[in-house]
Structure 1
């Protein structure tokens, strides 16, 4: 990640459970939640979009004939 000073602030809302669960996952890797979010944003810029595929959990065949 770039070593420039971080001065921009992003505020978002989530559930306490999601925050706790995600924090625990990243803490296992020695990464803060803030660092994880910055990694996500940096990777999004690199790939020009979401850094993962988005698809439904269960395939939907609606509209197919």
Structure 2
């Protein structure tokens, strides 16, 4: 296939059929119509993005939403810990007591 060929401007002479649950199709059409797209437009965009990156334009995972959330929280907590460790180990660390004293704050 010519790498300069774009889905949006390529001649559309082939057909593509698929089976899909009618409720899912309707829900997808509603989502895409809010973006000003038809289901065909959305599929063409997906195909073009796949061609652009020579792969899937999204992450395919078997993880549940909860598992992904737990992974994200674990990563965030790890980064927070790194930040805390860098503050307590760096020479420019100023303790809370020193800050309060410097600004003459009494608690």
The count of aligned residue pairs is 59
Structure 1, residues 41-61: CA drift from partner, whole Å, max 9, x if none? 1101111111011112154xx
Structure 2: distance between partners of 1:25 and 1:2:
20
Specify which of 30, 41, 44 is matched with residue 35 of structure 1.
41
The answer to whether the 8 A contact 2:8-2:44 is kept is no
From 13, 17, 28, the equivalent of 2:19 is 13
* Greater Rg by CA: 2
Query: Using the alignment, how far apart are the partners of 1:18 and 1:49 within structure 2?
Result: 24
Provide the TM-score with structure 2 as the length reference.
0.50
Q: Does 1:3 align with 2:9?
A: yes
Using CA pairs under 8 Å that are at least 6 residues apart, name the structure with larger relative contact order, 1 or 2. Answer: 1
* CA deviation vs aligned residue, 1:5-45 (integer Å, no higher than 9, x gap): 31111111110011000000000111000010000011011
Unmatched runs of 5 consecutive residues or more in structure 2 = 1-6, 68-107
